[in-house]
Structure 1
Amino acid sequence: MGTLNSTLKFYMPVLTIVPTIKSACLPRLVQLSHLHTSPNSQAPVPALPEKGGKTRHGIIPEEIFQLLYPKTGVTGPYMLGAGLLTYILSKEIYIINHETFAAACMGTVIIYGVRKFGPDVAAFADKLNEEKVQKAQEVKDLAMTSLAQAVLDEKKEQWRAEGRQMLFDAKRNNVAMLLETNRRERVHMVTNEVKKRLDYQIALQTLHRRMEQEHMVNWVEKNVVTSITPQQEKTSIAKCITDLKVLAKVQQAKATVAI
């Protein structure tokens, strides 16, 4: 009993640390629980590990040993387990009976079965898991391929849309050119029509001027003819005959000199 009391006295600080650690970790656990259960949370769900964490003796997590090492040293966890077991048995918190031996036998059979058939079952489970993962990967690859093709199709459609914009610009330019051609044709038609009317006015003025000139010439000639007397006419005819004779003599003299 003295040894037991000394052992309990040695591990009492450790036992007092456990509630402190629990009280310190409880708010964080509540906060993490709220983080994963809140509908407004946008935090990604952590991926499940493919393999379990490290354990000692098959069932004791390695984290417990790492937690107790700073306070108790390397042998502390084992002494804590032995002390707790001794305390539970000495205080008759747990009483050894036939069920204990039955549980020990069952545990032995279970451990033997796990060690004997565990690798084969694990390999079979891994094979099933790999098949599921392979199928999921095939579905993922198919989805990625279809999505990549959809992205390419979308880019092609965007490129075609840009081409449509260029086509619309070309059509607008063609329409603008047609409108400009139509406008110039109408301007040319108006110019020709105006030129024809101006030419008509010029021809009309020329005709009026020519008719006035002819009328003036006829009027002057008529007045001149009417103003000449018979005596003036005879005198003019005689003078013309005289001039013709003189010209004939001159021409005859030139011909004689040339010979």
Structure 2
Amino acid sequence: MRSFDRIVVVDWSARSAPSPRRESADAIWIGIAGPDGGTECAYMRTRAAAEAALAALFDAALDRGDRVLAGFDFPFAYPAGFAGAVTGADDPLRLWDWLAARVEDGPDNANNRWDVARALNRMFPGVGPFWGCPAGEAGPDLPARGSLRHGHGMAERRRIEARLPRAQPCWKLYTTGSVGSQALLGLPVLSRLRRRYGADLSVAPFEPPDRPLVLAEAFPSLIASTVAALAEPGEVRDRTQVRVLARALWRLEAGRLDAMLREGDREEGWILGHGHEAVLDAAARVP
């Protein structure tokens, strides 16, 4: 199996309304590195628009006979035991489908993630594990602060997050640095892409990365200093992140990238490139 013809890196967003018309931070950005050596960047105001754009990109790639690796900057799984408690199976991809059946996310980004988080918390003893929400959404089933949780039985971090102090726990749904809401609203999108593409798509590290379309969890902050160094004047930081990481992954030797995609935990997931930061840094900085 040859390497990838295109590398896509997606910076996701959990906004509850469309992002501003003017390109801004905390929105969805898609970076695409391809055979021409350049990197395109697209700004998406809604998750629905991003899902449609990704499907169009994947459709075109399959029509050409190309391979695409798409990395998304939100957790692909939760600490061990969570998927099993929710779905009855330790397979994180079953949890994706469970969320897809329950998360409502409109074309204007209006969504029911607080209700889904409350429903999940009610499946566990004590209080939690999810936390963080606007004041009007807080209550016994969804505490506003992490310190209010107790007795839910889940680990605070996945194994990969314990290795990366910059990575936030997936239970945190609100305020600075949170990624929990991005996961609740992103995993249903990935579930639908899996159903759409069937045997043409696989998810690393849960499945072998040998299909035409491969999805993986990405974390641009692995190479934060390089991202900062390569920012263009006035560039939105999220745009820089997807552009630089897509470029770095594109420049990796095929065998090394394949090996990276096979690393990690089959239940908790993994962040692509962890442990290979120096290699990614060097690839990103190649003129």
Instruction: Find the structure with the greater CA-based Rg.
Output: 1
TM-score, with length taken from structure 2: 0.16
Q: Which has the higher strand share?
A: 2
Q: Which has the higher helix share?
A: 1
TM-score, with length taken from structure 1: 0.17
Greater RCO between the two (CA within 8 Å, min separation 6)? Answer: 2
